[in-house]
Amino acid sequence: MKETKKGSTTIKRIRKAVPLYLMILPGFLYLLINNYIPMSGIVIAFKDLNFQKGILGSDWVGFANFVYLFKTPEAFRILRNTVCYNLAFMVINTTAALAIAILMSEIKSKRKVKIYQTCVLVPTLVSMIIVSYMVYAFLNTRTGYVNGLLRSMGRTEIAFYTEPVYWPFILVFVNFWKGAGYASVLYLANILGMDQEMLEAASIDGANRWQRIKSIILPLLKPTVIILTLMSISKIFNSDFGLFYQVPLNSGALIDVTNTIDTYVYRGMINLGDIGMSSAAGFYQSTVGFVLILIVNGITRKYSNENALF
Amino acid sequence: MRSKKERRYSFCINLVMILISVVMVIPFLLLISASFTSNEAILLHGYTLFPSKLSLEAYEYIWVERAQIFRAYFITIVVTVVGTGTGVMISLLYGYAISKKNFPGRSFFTFYLFFTMLFGGGLVPTYIWYTRYLHIKNTIWGLLIPGLLMGAYNVIMIRTYYQNSIPSELAESAKIDGAGEFTTFFKIYMPLSKPVIATIAMFVGLAYWNDWTNGLYYITDSRLFSIQQLLNNIMKNIEYLSSNPYSIMSSSSYVPQETVRMAIAVVGVLPVLLMFPMLQKYFVKGITVGSVKG
C-alpha cells in the first residue's frame, strides 16, 4: 500500500517535470551526438579499421596498433614534445602573468589599467590562422621583418621555416604572447579582491614595496597559482593543434620540434594508412588525460576542497 | 603630496607596462601596415612596422575579388549568428533545468554534462562518426555542429548563476500564479540573466568566428569556406584567390601577393578588434568567474 503510494508520487513528480525534460532534451541529444557516441568510438584503437565492415564489424586486433605505435621513433618524440612544451608554457606563462598582474595592481589610475589590460588581452581574441600570418610576417625568409632587420645590420638572413633550432623559442614566445594576458586578468582580480587594509597596514608598518609583494601578495596568490598549475598538469598530454600545426605552416623540416600528439593524430588520420596508430595515440591521450584529471582533482580536494573540480 | 621616489617608482612601472603592451600590439601593427604598403616596396624592403610606400592596391584587389571574400564573410557571419544563438539557447535551457532542486534526475543530468569535461573520444572517432555516419562533410552542419555548439563549462556557469543570483522565491511566486516552467524561464529568468547571456554569447561567438579546425576537417567545397578557412588556403597557396574557379581575374594577371594576404587577414580580425572595447567588461567577467564545480 505504502509502496504504491510512493510509486505514484514519483510518477506525479516526473509528470510535473515534463517541461524540464523537454528543456534538457536538445542539450542532451547534442552531448550524445557530439561527445558520448565518439567516446564509444575509442574502441577503434583496438581494431583493424575497415570501412567496408564498419566500426563494429572490423576485426579486433588487441594491442597491435599500440605495439606499432610505440615501435616508431615518433612515439617518443611526440610524447617528449607535448610534455616538455607544456612544462615550459606553464613556467613561462605563470611567471609572466603574475608579473603583469602585480605591475598592474600597483598602478593607481583605472583608465591606464584598462588600456594596458586591453593590450594584453587583444592577442587572446585572434585565431591561430591570424597568428600564423603574423609570425609569417616576422619570420619568412624573403620579406620577413626579422630578416629585414638582419640584412640592414649586414647579417645573413635566417630561413626560419626550415631551421628547427629556433622553434622551441618561437613557440614558447607565441604561446606567451597569446595566453599570458588571460591568466594575468585572473591574478589581478585576485589581488584586487585581497584585503586592501592589510596591504596598507603593511606599508604603514614600513614594509617596502618588494617586501609587501614578497611576503603578502605572493603568498595570498599561492592557492590560485597551485590550482591553475594543477589544471594545466591535468592537460599535459594535450596540445594546441593550431599552435603546433598552423604556426609553423606544417613545415616538414620542423617536424622534429613541432610534432605533438594532436598533430600526429591529425596527420595519421588524413593519411589513411596510419589510422590505426593514430587512433592508438588518441586513445592513449584520452585515457591518460582522464587518469591525470582524477589524480589532480584528488590532490586539489585534499589541499583546498572549494577549488576541486568535483 | 607624492614623493619623488614614489613618482619614479610609478614611472618605472608604467614604462614596463608600456613595453609589454607594445610587444602585444606590434604584430597587429605589422599586419595592418603591410596591408597598406605597395607590394613592390615589400618585395624590396620586406614587411615594415610603418608603410614604406603607402598603397591601397591590396584592398583594390580584394574589391575586385570581392565575390569570394564576401561569400566567406557571409558564411562566417551566418555560422556565428546561428551557432551562437542556438548554442546559448540550449545551454540556458539545460542550465535552468539542472538548477532546479526538485527536478527528478537532476544529479544524473549534471553528471552527464560534467563527464564530457573529463573524458573525450578524441579526433579520430569524432571525425569518423561525423563524416561516415552523419555525412556532414561539405554541409553547413560541418561548421555549426562539431565541438562548438554547447560546452559543459558554459552550462555550469549558467546553472551556478541561476542558483546563486536569482532568488528562488521569484520562481515560487510565479508558480503560485499558475506559470509553467517555460513561462517562468522565458518571462522571469531570461530577462534576469542578461549578464551571463552576454558573457557566454561572447565566448561562443568568438569561438565560432575564429574557428578554422571544423573547416579543415569537414569542408573541402570552396563555396562553404569561412573567412578563416579562406585565409588558411591563401597561406598554403598564395595563388589560391586567382587560381580557383570563382576568380574573376585570369590566373596570369598580376596579384600583389604579399600585401593581399595581409589585407584579408586584417579584414578577418577587424570585427573582433572593433567590438572588443565594448565587450571587454564581459570578457573579463567571464575569465574571473570562479567556481565551475559539478
Cα gap A37→A31, rounded to integer Å? 9
ipTM of the complex: 0.89
CB contact under 8 A, A14 and B103: no
Put residue B255 in one of left, alpha, beta given phi > 0 → left and psi -120 to 50 → alpha: beta
Q: Of the spans A143-147, B9-13, B81-85, which averages the highest pLDDT? A: B81-85
With CA atoms as reference, the chain A residue closest to B277 would be A118
- pLDDT classification of B285: cutoffs 50, 70, 90: confident
Q: Which residues pair with A48 in a beta bridge?
A: A59
CATH number, domain containing residue B228: 1.10.3720.10
CB contact under 8 A, A116 and B276: no
Q: In chain A, what are the domain boundaries?
A: 1-31, 64-307
Report if residue B272 sits inside a domain. Answer: yes
User: Residues B36-47: pLDDT tens digits?
Assistant: 998 888 888 888
Task: Tally C-beta pairs within 8 A across A and B.
Answer: 264
Expressed as residue numbers, the domain containing B135 is: 58-288
Above pLDDT 70, what percent of chain A? 95
Write the CB contacts of B224 (distance below 8 Å, at least 6 apart in sequence).
B75, B138, B139, B140, B142, B143, B215
- Using CB atoms, pick whichever of B24, B122, B180 lies closest to residue A123: B24
With CA atoms as reference, the chain A residue closest to B205 would be A125
SS3 assignment, position B54: strand
- pLDDT classification of A47: cutoffs 50, 70, 90: confident
- pLDDT classification of B16: cutoffs 50, 70, 90: very high
pLDDT in the model for residue B249: 55
User: Which of B74, B108, B81 minimizes the C-alpha distance to B94?
Assistant: B108
- pLDDT classification of B292: cutoffs 50, 70, 90: very low
Chain CA centroid to CA B158, Å: 19
- pLDDT classification of A242: cutoffs 50, 70, 90: very high
CB contact under 8 A, B97 and A23: yes
Report if residue B240 sits inside a domain. Answer: yes
Between residues B89 and B248, which one has the greater pLDDT? B89
CB contact under 8 A, A26 and B90: yes
- A179 within 8 A of A122, measured Cβ to Cβ: no
Q: Is the pLDDT of residue B2 over 70?
A: no
Set of chain A residues whose Cβ sits within 8 Å of the Cβ of B129? 37-38, 41
- pLDDT classification of A4: cutoffs 50, 70, 90: low
User: Residues B90-128: pLDDT tens digits?
Assistant: 999 999 999 988 888 899 999 999 999 888 888 989 998
Between residues B12 and B167, which one has the greater pLDDT? B12
pLDDT in the model for residue A38: 92
HSE on the CB side for A148, CA within 13 Å?
Answer: 19
CB contact under 8 A, A185 and B288: yes
pLDDT in the model for residue B111: 93
pLDDT in the model for residue B294: 36
- pLDDT classification of A95: cutoffs 50, 70, 90: very high
CB contact under 8 A, A31 and B112: yes
User: Residues B206-223: pLDDT tens digits?
Assistant: 999 999 999 999 999 888
Q: Is the pLDDT of residue A49 over 70?
A: yes
Give the cell for residue B63.
574589391
Shortest Cα distance, chain B CAs vs residue A165, angstroms: 22
Round to the nearest angstrom and report the end-to-end CA distance of chain A: 39
Put residue B201 in one of left, alpha, beta given phi > 0 → left and psi -120 to 50 → alpha: alpha
With CA atoms as reference, the chain A residue closest to B147 would be A34
pLDDT in the model for residue A257: 93
Q: Is the pLDDT of residue A112 over 80?
A: yes
Q: Is the pLDDT of residue A5 over 70?
A: no
User: Which of B99, B80, B107, B212 minimizes the C-alpha distance to B163?
Assistant: B99
CB contact under 8 A, A39 and B210: no
Set of chain A residues whose Cβ sits within 8 Å of the Cβ of B28? 122, 134
Q: What's the mean pLDDT when you consider all of chain A?
A: 87
Mean pLDDT over A84-88 rounds to 95
E strands along chain A, which residues? 47-48, 59-60
Amino acid letter for position B150? M
Report if residue B23 sits inside a domain. Answer: no
CB atoms within 10 A of CB B33: 21
Mutate one of A130, A153, A210 to test the B interface: name it (highest B CB count within 10 A).
Answer: A130
Q: Is the pLDDT of residue B291 over 50?
A: no
Phi, psi of A11 (to 5 degrees): -60, -40
pLDDT in the model for residue B102: 84
Q: What's the mean pLDDT when you consider all of chain B?
A: 86
Cα gap B144→B214, rounded to integer Å? 8
Set of chain A residues whose Cβ sits within 8 Å of the Cβ of B19? none
Give the cell for residue B167.
532568488
Give the cell for residue A190.
585576485
pLDDT in the model for residue B61: 86
User: Residues B242-260: pLDDT tens digits?
Assistant: 555 555 555 555 677 788 8
Set of chain A residues whose Cβ sits within 8 Å of the Cβ of B10? 106-108
SS3 assignment, position A60: strand
pLDDT in the model for residue A307: 65
Cα gap A101→B216, rounded to integer Å? 36
Set of chain A residues whose Cβ sits within 8 Å of the Cβ of B122? 38, 42, 265, 279, 282-283, 285-286
Mean pLDDT over A102-106 rounds to 91
Report if residue B43 sits inside a domain. Answer: no
User: Residues A196-222: pLDDT tens digits?
Assistant: 777 777 777 777 778 888 888 888 888
CA dist A247 → A131, A175, A242, A266, B233 (Å): 7, 11, 7, 15, 14
- Using CB atoms, pick whichever of B30, B112, B119 lies closest to residue A134: B30
User: Residues B41-64: pLDDT tens digits?
Assistant: 888 888 888 888 888 888 888 888
- Using CB atoms, pick whichever of B114, B121, B206 lies closest to residue A286: B121
CB contact under 8 A, A41 and B116: no
With CA atoms as reference, the chain B residue closest to A137 would be B47
pLDDT in the model for residue B44: 82
Residue with cell 596591504: A199
Q: Is the pLDDT of residue A187 over 70?
A: yes
User: Which of B135, B191, B109 minimizes the C-alpha distance to A21?
Assistant: B109
Report if residue B10 sits inside a domain. Answer: no
A64-73, B154-163, B241-250: lowest mean pLDDT where?
A: B241-250
CB contact under 8 A, A137 and B231: no
Shortest Cα distance, chain A CAs vs residue B75, angstroms: 17
Question: Can you give the pTM of this predicted structure?
Answer: 0.90
- Using CB atoms, pick whichever of B27, B129, B280 lies closest to residue A38: B129
Classify A64-307 by CATH class: mainly alpha
Shortest Cα distance, chain B CAs vs residue A282, angstroms: 6
